Amino acid sequence: MKLVAATGNLHKLKEIRSILTGFEILSEREAGFTGSVEETENTFLGNALLKARAVAKATGMSAIADDSGLCVDALGGAPGVFSARYSGGGDADNRALLLQNLEGCESRTAHFCCAVALVLADGRVFTAEGRTYGEILHEERGTNGFGYDPLFFSYDLKKTFAEADEEEKNAVSHRGRALRALEEQL
């Protein structure tokens, strides 16, 4: 089955491709989608549905979207759905702001959450969610992955996601769990 991945994030696209191996996953560009979808919902699932619906409508193809983020307990679940836009800058600025906001906090527990939505060309919709738990370190470790990976110490892997290789991360990640749960429904 051919799907368009409704994301402009090449790291996510790579992970989606290696997790959903039974599907041919096109990038937005390969499917001829050049627009951008504003994430106006306040839940991961709401935003995933928004993105998948918009890209399915524009391309006439089945589309899959992921909306994800980091939820830190001591920060009341922030940055949450604002993870990508936390500092107004890029990934490195987001990580720096997170460390700054956690200064003096004793609890550093956190989880990543991922909601996935698949909108088929015939209009049927499938959704799933996945989570993965860990802690925010005081300094970055590792260079793999993207986003908050160098700061996220995974309880499953006993190392940061940026120290893990792609296969290790996908086996326990929020995205891996969400996509496998979605696959089971199909």
Closest CB to ligand IMP among 121 and 181?
Answer: 181
In whole angstroms, the minimum distance from the beta carbon of 133 to ligand IMP comes to 13
Q: CB-based burial of residue 51 (10 Å sphere; 0-12 exposed, 13-18 middle, 19+ buried)?
A: buried
Taking the C-alpha atoms of residue 56 and residue 33, their distance in angstroms, rounded to an integer, is 10
**Catalytic site residue 67?**
yes
Taking the C-alpha atoms of residue 174 and residue 130, their distance in angstroms, rounded to an integer, is 5
Determine which residue in the list 54, 56, 134, 147 makes contact with ligand IMP, applying CB under 6 A: 147
In whole angstroms, the minimum distance from the beta carbon of 186 to ligand IMP comes to 22
H helices of 27-148, in order, are 44-59, 91-101
Taking the C-alpha atoms of residue 13 and residue 50, their distance in angstroms, rounded to an integer, is 17
**Could you say whether residue 153 binds ligand IMP (CB under 6 A)?**
no
Q: Which residue type does 87 have?
A: S
**Could you say whether residue 160 binds ligand IMP (CB under 6 A)?**
no
Closest CB to ligand IMP among 6 and 61?
Answer: 6
Interface pattern 50-89 for ligand IMP (x via CB under 6 A): -----------------xxxx------------xx-----
How many C-beta neighbours within 10 Å does residue 166 have?
Answer: 16
Residue-level length of the chain: 186
**Could you say whether residue 133 binds ligand IMP (CB under 6 A)?**
no
For ligand IMP, the binding residues (CB under 6 A) are: 9, 39, 67-70, 83-84, 94, 112, 145-149, 161, 173, 175
Residues with a catalytic annotation lie at 67
